[in-house]
């Protein structure tokens, strides 16, 4: 029996034991996002409490289940009961859950997000009926948050490496056919059909071919790849095996951001496990196929997400793109045919092979097959990592899954595609989420960042934000991008600081076209998108900045001033103490005043003023905005 066959048996046994465990098992979501929310403290507390109570129990660190706004997340297995998932778990809740549910009979439904397995518990529904999960179809994320990402047996017990074994059975051409039939398109942004890329590489004769996994998730506001690698690293690596096998690559690289230390650690661990199981090296599983895998740490350059720049970086050079053709599939890394694939594209491969292309095409729309993960963030109630069938409407994502914007706020738009994408206005939310529709709207699918914007977001500021990002990340090789983004940014800065001129919007539009048409690589070609879409859909907001010198969202610091309403101010001195530049004058119990000559418009006073008084108000041009006073000890 081979090491892999043996591991499959051990895995099945281990998983069964876990499912039927007589003693409690606690699963804590401890990916980077969970850790930021306090998962490590939760694990420590759990272990201490278990010791204190002399309990026989296991604590297992799992990845990210997705609903980040409810982290830390704890799943509790108790013998004879369905597994329960709890959100916002803090040390107090742990003690309570241990006392009342594990030792007693109260499942604490007030903290539960849902049941993870079959069974009945009063007051706790199936997690699939939770509003955040209801509209989701979780295929890529099916194991995330449920398995120990550092235990390969957990992966093997949950259809792990079955797709690769199937590929070996089908052979190189059979595997290629299956991927072609699935219609899978690259999940990194542009949506190029995976099989066409492969075909180009397969047709190129070469003794050496390379496969690269692009895990340089540089889009600010996107964390799908990080989460997937941290939660289920083998799913990506299995995809690499399948791709390498079909295109005939003998060596592969994973190019992963250095900003993702946990993901890097998980990859290293997983690769060691693959080696032990005979899934790497020469003559893998007796198939004659040999493959070696290396990790390359990115060094912080957004442009390295571009294929040719990424290749330059792996070769140890400045990460600058070069003109295509030749495409990397023909001449890439060290001038050998090279296929570069996004993390999520690779993770799809194992499922396509295991379940068949027929299964895959059942999900998605006519031209965009399958499911797609999105990082839902920004001004929205439920943030996190989600997976939906392509073709779902933006509205369903924002309102059903994300729960809409905060109370009293209005959704203004949705930003998709990061710095290469654009802002889709709230009245266009019926738009289906697929490659063609998003591109037609002026935005793009991108890798999957989805940021909700509400009326506190200034669209000029958003355009400025993205452009300052691309401008800083422009590698400087081609002038349209290097000079164009800078010139555009200067105009945006002018507008945001109240010095905009009447023809600035036209100028911006013209420059944007030039940069888009004349830049060398994808970074420059798409950099104008945030500007173009905000000009197109939110032109009135630009006009307000230019003509009335006012920022309707009260964001652009130079156009906003802060004041204290003497009627509302109780003289508590909270703002006086908080002001970083000592611009607020006033004695206790007497109304305070802001010295406008010192004020730096940072807004700290606004955040500090107790909600019961809400005495700070902002003005911008002819607009004034007061914060709502919350009930409580209001001044009388």
Partner 1 sequence: MTVSAQQNNAVVAELLSLHGKDRSHLITVLQDIQQHFGYLPRQAVTQLAQRTGISANEIYGVATFYAQFRFIPPGEHIIQVCQGTACHVRGSWQLLQELQQRLGIKPGQTTADGRFDLRRVACIGCCALAPVVTVDGNVHARMTPKEIALLVKQHSGKKDR
Give contact residues for partner 1 (rule: CB under 8 A). 32-33, 35-37, 68-69, 71, 217-223, 226-227, 258-261, 296-297, 299-302, 313-320, 375-379, 383-385, 415, 418, 449, 451, 453, 457, 462, 465-466, 469, 475, 578, 580-581, 600, 602-604, 607-608
Q: Which is nearer to partner 1, 235 or 457 (CB)?
A: 457
Nearest approach, Cβ of 179 to partner 1 (angstroms)? Answer: 28
Nearest approach, Cβ of 493 to partner 1 (angstroms)? Answer: 14
Q: Which is nearer to partner 1, 250 or 356 (CB)?
A: 250
524 Cα distance to chain centroid: 22
Q: What is the DSSP letter of 599?
A: -
Check: CB of residue 544 under 8 Å from CB of residue 552.
yes
3-state helix, strand, coil in the chain (%, to 5): 45, 15, 40
Nearest approach, Cβ of 622 to partner 1 (angstroms)? Answer: 25
Q: Which is nearer to partner 1, 230 or 238 (CB)?
A: 230
Q: Which is nearer to partner 1, 82 or 319 (CB)?
A: 319
Nearest approach, Cβ of 362 to partner 1 (angstroms)? Answer: 29
Q: Which is nearer to partner 1, 4 or 475 (CB)?
A: 475
- How many Cβ atoms sit within 10 Å of the Cβ of residue 540? 9
Cα angle 285-288-291, degrees, rounded to a multiple of 5: 75
CA 435 – CA 443 distance, rounded (Å): 10
CA 406 – CA 328 distance, rounded (Å): 45
CA 529 – CA 518 distance, rounded (Å): 14
Q: What is the DSSP letter of 100?
A: I
Nearest approach, Cβ of 439 to partner 1 (angstroms)? Answer: 20
Check: CB of residue 600 under 8 Å from CB of residue 581.
yes
Nearest approach, Cβ of 551 to partner 1 (angstroms)? Answer: 14
Rg (alpha carbons) of the chain, rounded to whole number: 27
Token digits of residue 600: 């730096």
Q: Which is nearer to partner 1, 270 or 311 (CB)?
A: 311
Nearest approach, Cβ of 422 to partner 1 (angstroms)? Answer: 12
Nearest approach, Cβ of 218 to partner 1 (angstroms)? Answer: 7
Q: Which is nearer to partner 1, 295 or 330 (CB)?
A: 295
Beta-sheet strand order (sheet of 84-86): 58-62, 25-29, 74-77, 84-86, 112-115
Q: Which is nearer to partner 1, 31 or 124 (CB)?
A: 31
CA 382 – CA 386 distance, rounded (Å): 10
Nearest approach, Cβ of 605 to partner 1 (angstroms)? Answer: 10
3-state secondary structure of 38: coil
CA 28 – CA 86 distance, rounded (Å): 10
Write out 155-199 in H/E/C secondary structure.
HHCCCCCHHHHHHHHHHHHHHHHHHHHHCCECCCCCCCEHHHHHH
Q: Which is nearer to partner 1, 242 or 521 (CB)?
A: 521
């Amino acid at each position: 029996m081979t090491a892999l066959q043996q591991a499959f048996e051990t895995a099945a046994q281990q998983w069964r034991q876990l499912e039927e465990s007589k003693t409690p098992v606690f699963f804590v979501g401890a990916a980077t996002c969970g850790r930021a929310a306090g998962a490590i403290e939760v694990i420590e507390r759990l272990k201490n409490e278990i010791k204190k109570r002399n309990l026989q129990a296991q604590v297992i660190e799992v990845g990210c289940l997705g609903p980040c706004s409810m982290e830390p997340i704890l799943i509790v297995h108790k013998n004879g009961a369905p597994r329960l998932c709890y959100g916002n778990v803090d040390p107090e809740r742990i003690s309570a859950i241990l006392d009342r549910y594990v030792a007693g009979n109260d499942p604490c439904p007030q903290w539960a997000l849902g049941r993870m397995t079959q069974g009945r518990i009063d007051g706790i529904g199936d997690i699939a009926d939770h509003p955040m999960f209801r509209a989701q179809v979780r295929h890529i994320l099916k194991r995330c948050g449920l398995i120990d990402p550092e235990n390969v047996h957990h992966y093997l017990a949950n259809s792990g490496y079955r797709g690769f074994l199937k590929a070996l059975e089908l052979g190189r051409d059979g595997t290629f056919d299956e991927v072609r039939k699935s219609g899978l398109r690259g999940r990194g942004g542009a949506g190029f059909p995976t099989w066409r890329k492969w075909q180009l590489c397969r047709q190129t004769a070469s003794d050496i071919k390379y496969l690269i996994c692009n895990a340089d998730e540089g889009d600010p506001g996107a964390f799908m790849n990080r989460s997937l690698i941290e939660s289920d690293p083998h799913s990506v690596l299995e995809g690499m095996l399948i791709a390498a096998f079909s295109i005939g690559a003998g060596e592969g690289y994973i190019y992963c951001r250095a900003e993702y230390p946990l993901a890097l650690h998980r990859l290293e661990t997983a690769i060691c496990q693959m080696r032990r199981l005979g899934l790497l090296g020469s003559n893998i599983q007796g198939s004659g196929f040999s493959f070696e895998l290396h990790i390359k740490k990115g060094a912080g350059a957004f442009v390295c997400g571009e294929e040719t720049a990424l290749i330059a970086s792996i070769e140890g050079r400045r990460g600058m793109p070069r003109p295509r053709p030749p495409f990397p599939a023909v001449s890439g890394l060290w001038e050998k045919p090279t296929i570069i694939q996004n993390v999520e594209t690779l993770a799809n491969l194992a499922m396509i092979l295991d379940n068949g292309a027929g299964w895959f095409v059942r999900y998605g729309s006519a031209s965009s097959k399958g499911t797609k993960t999105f990082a839902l963030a920004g001004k929205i109630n439920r943030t996190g990592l989600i997976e939906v069938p392509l073709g779902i409407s933006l509205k369903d994502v924002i309102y059903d899954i994300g729960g809409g914007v905060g109370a009293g706020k209005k959704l203004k738009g949705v930003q998709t595609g990061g710095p290469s994408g654009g802002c889709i206005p709230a009245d266009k939310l019926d738009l289906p989420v697929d490659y063609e529709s998003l591109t037609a709207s002026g935005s793009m699918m991108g890798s999957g960042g989805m940021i909700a914007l509400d009326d506190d977001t200034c669209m000029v500021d958003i355009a400025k934000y993205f452009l300052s990002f691309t401008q800083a990340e422009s590698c400087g090789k081609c002038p349209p991008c290097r000079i164009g983004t800078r010139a555009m940014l200067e105009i945006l800065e002018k507008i945001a600081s109240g010095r905009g001129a009447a023809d600035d919007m036209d100028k911006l539009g013209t420059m944007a076209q030039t940069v888009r048409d004349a830049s060398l690589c994808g970074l420059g070609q798409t950099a104008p998108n945030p500007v173009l879409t905000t000009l197109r859909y939110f032109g009135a907001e630009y006009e307000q900045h230019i003509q009335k010198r006012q920022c309707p969202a009260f964001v652009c610091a130079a156009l906003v001033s802060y004041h204290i309403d003497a009627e509302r101010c109780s003289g508590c001195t909270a703002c006086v103490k908080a002001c970083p530049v000592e611009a607020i004058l006033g004695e206790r119990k007497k109304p305070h005043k802001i010295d406008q000559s010192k004020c730096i418009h940072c807004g700290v006073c606004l955040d500090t003023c107790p909600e019961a008084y809400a005495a700070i108000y902002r003005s911008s041009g002819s607009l004034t905005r007061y914060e709502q006073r919350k009930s409580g000890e209001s001044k009388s």
